[in-house]
């Protein structure tokens, strides 16, 4: 049994490795470890990579002037509390991502996939930078610290952080194929569930014409996270193809339970953060939305739906997807444009 679930760290140069494409694998591959990007096995990678590169953005391009005023003047007490706590939570999540992605990557033996994770890691850094930019513009230094380190005074928050962290540590302590799929799914939950309720909160402020700069930055983060989500979905599905034997009924139900547990915690968290005092949101809406997200996440990696019903986006929450789509928002013809070189992806064949 132990031998069946063995997971090897990827090594450095392996001169005796196999040079055929078939030797590539998500984990435990036997190739040379030379970056041969002319012969890639996972075809979705090239699209994904190009897309992720052309998404490059920096937070400073978003104007926060109105947010500075809104934060002091238009946010209600309840809204400011949730704003702070949600931001604090996102800061935690992205910090964790930048720490944990390299752990996963140590075992990814397909170079092209490994490249994607490196790029993702870089994007998580940008996300951390954007929260710093937000805090820097709207808060004083002491407020800033009290937001970032809120978990030191908030036991509910601390408990939550420790739980999420625990899932990642299980893998570090005992890396094998089973703990590997668990950590992949844990990451997938983090990106596809925990972040999303945070995003939703900011979009809701935006739809109430408050903190629109924040919402705009969040939209950019969201776009990246969508990409990350699809990256991990692909990794999970490829991994599943390559290690069918691991996916026993038992393991599948462990994974389903992970998602279920995450949803339940997320709903509790939502109640703690949002309650019934935020205009535009109430606990029923949050419940419906999270159950729906849980089902979507489960089914798109081949698991059974977690909650009965909840297969369609709840009507009361249809605004979320509208507000999250960057390309749904048409800015003034004569205004917006980013300067940095998007044309790096433009092929010069003149």
Partner 1 sequence: MNKKIIKRDGREEEFKDSKIVSAIEKSFISQNSILSDEESSKILNLIHEAIDLKEKITVEDIQDEVEKALMSLNFYDIAKAYILYRNSRTQIREYRDFLVKEFNKYDLRLLSKNIEKEYPTKEYSLLNLANKYKSFSLNSIDDEEKMNILIKSALELVSVEAPKWDLIAGRIELFRYHLNLKTRNKELNVTNFYSKIKYLIDNDYYGSYLLEKYNEEEINKIERMIIKSRDKLLSYSSFKVLKEECLIKDKNGNYFETPQEMFMAIAMHLAMNEKDKLFYVKRFYDVLSKFEFVFALPILKNARRKNAQLSNCFIDIMDDSIVSIFESISNLAKTYDLTGGMGIYLGKLRSTSYLNKNSEENVGILKWLKIINDVVLAINKKGGFNGGVTCYLDIWHIDMLDFLEIRKYLNLNKHYKYIIYPAICVPDYFWKLARDNINAMWSLMDPHEIYLKKNYHLEDFYGVEWENRYLDCVHDDRIIKKDVPIKEIIRLIVKNAFETGTPFCFNRDIANKENPNKHKGMIYSSNLSLEIMQNVSPKNFINEEVMKFNGEEVLIKKSEPSNYPTSVLGSICLMNFDYSNDSKLEDVISIGIRALDNCIDLTSCFNLNSLLTLKKYRSLGISVNGYQDVLANENIKFDSEEQLIFGNKLFEKINYFTLKASNALAIEKGSYPYFKGSDFDNGNYFINRDYLSEKRAKLKDSIKNKGLRNGYLLAFSSSRFTSILSSNSESILPLLSKFYFEEEANKMIPRVSKFITNENNLYYSDAFDISQDYIIKTAQMIYKHIDQGVSLNLYINNNYSMRQILDLYIKAYEAGIKSIHFLRLKEATYE
Shortest distance in whole angstroms from residue 227 CB to partner 1: 5
Going by C-beta distance under 8 Å and a sequence separation of 6 or more, which residues neighbour residue 187? Answer: 97, 100, 101, 104, 232
Q: Is the dihedral of CA 171, 173, 176, 178 positive or negative?
A: negative
**Contact with partner 1 (CB under 8 A): which of 51, 165, 176, 265?**
51
How far is the CA of 71 from the CAs of 22, 131, 192, 194, 202, in angstroms? 55, 15, 28, 24, 13
Identified binder of partner 1 from the candidate list 97, 137, 227, 295, rule CB under 8 A: 227
C-alpha–C-alpha distance, residues 257 and 309, integer Å:
17
Spell out, one character per residue from 119 to 148, where the chain touches partner 1: x when CB under 8 A holds, - when not: ------------------------------
Residue positions annotated with a catalytic role:
131
Q: Does 315 bind partner 1 (CB under 8 A)?
A: yes
> From partner 1, Fe ion, none, which one binds at residue 327 (CB under 5 to 8 Å depending on kind)?
partner 1
> By C-alpha distance, which of 271, 312, 276, 272 is closest to 293?
312
Q: How far is the CB of 142 from partner 1 (least distance, A)?
A: 27
Phi/psi for 217 (5° steps) reads: -65, -45
Residue 46 in contact with partner 1, rule: CB under 8 A: no
Q: How far is CA 205 from the centre of its chain?
A: 21
Which of the choices Fe ion, partner 1, none does residue 124 contact, using the CB cut-off of 5 to 8 A by kind?
Answer: Fe ion
Looking at the Cβ atoms of 1 and 331, the one nearer to partner 1 is 331
- List binders of partner 1 among 191-220 (CB under 8 A): 206-209, 212
Round to whole Å and give the CA distance between 70 and 214.
11
- Least distance between Fe ion and beta carbon 97 (Å): 5
287 binds partner 1 (CB under 8 A): no
> What is the per-residue DSSP string for 152-213?
GT-HHHHHHHHHHHHHHHHHHHS-SHHHHHHHHHHHHHIIIIIHHHHHHHHHHHHHTTS-HH
Least separation in angstroms between residue 239's CB and partner 1 is: 19
Q: Is 127 in the site for Fe ion (CB under 5 A)?
A: yes
Could you say which of partner 1, Fe ion, none residue 285 binds, taking C-beta under 5 to 8 angstroms by partner kind?
A: partner 1
Cβ closest to partner 1, residue 42 vs residue 247 = 42
Q: Which is nearer to partner 1, 166 or 309 (CB)?
A: 309
Beta-bridged to residue 31, according to DSSP, are 18
Residues at the contact surface with Fe ion, assessed by CB under 5 A: 94, 124, 127, 191, 225, 228
């Amino acid at each position: 049994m132990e031998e069946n679930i063995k997971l090897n760290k990827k090594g450095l140069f392996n001169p005796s490795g196999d040079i055929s494409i078939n030797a590539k694998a998500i984990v435990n591959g036997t190739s040379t470890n030379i970056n041969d990007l002319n012969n890639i096995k996972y075809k979705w990678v090239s699209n994904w990579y190009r897309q992720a590169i052309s998404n490059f953005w920096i937070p400073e391009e978003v104007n926060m002037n109105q947010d500075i005023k809104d934060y002091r003047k238009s946010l209600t007490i309840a809204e400011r509390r949730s704003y702070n706590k949600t931001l604090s939570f996102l800061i935690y999540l992205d910090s964790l991502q930048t720490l944990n992605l390299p752990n996963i990557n140590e075992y990814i033996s397909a170079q092209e996939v490994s490249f994607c994770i490196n790029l993702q890691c870089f994007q998580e850094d940008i996300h951390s930078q954007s929260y710093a930019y937000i805090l820097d513009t709207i808060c004083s230094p002491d407020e800033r610290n009290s937001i970032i380190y809120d978990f030191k005074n908030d036991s509910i928050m601390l408990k939550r952080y420790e739980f999420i962290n625990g899932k990642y540590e299980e893998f570090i302590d005992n890396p094998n194929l089973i703990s590997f799929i668990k950590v992949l799914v844990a990451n997938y939950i983090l990106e596809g569930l925990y972040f999303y309720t945070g995003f939703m909160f900011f979009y809701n402020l935006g739809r109430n014409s408050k903190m629109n700069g924040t919402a705009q930055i969040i939209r950019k983060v969201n776009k990246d996270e969508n990409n990350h989500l699809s990256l991990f979905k692909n990794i999970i599905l490829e991994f599943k193809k390559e290690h069918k034997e691991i996916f026993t009924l038992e393991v599948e139900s462990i994974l389903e339970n992970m998602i279920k547990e995450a949803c339940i915690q997320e709903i509790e968290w939502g109640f703690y953060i949002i309650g019934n005092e935020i205009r535009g949101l109430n606990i029923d809406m949050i419940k419906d939305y999270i159950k729906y997200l849980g089902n979507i996440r489960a089914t798109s990696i081949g698991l059974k739906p977690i909650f009965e019903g909840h297969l369609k986006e709840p009507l009361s929450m249809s605004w979320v997807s509208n507000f999250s789509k960057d390309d749904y928002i048409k800015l003034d013809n004569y205004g917006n444009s980013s300067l940095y070189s998007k044309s790096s992806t433009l092929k010069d064949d003149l």
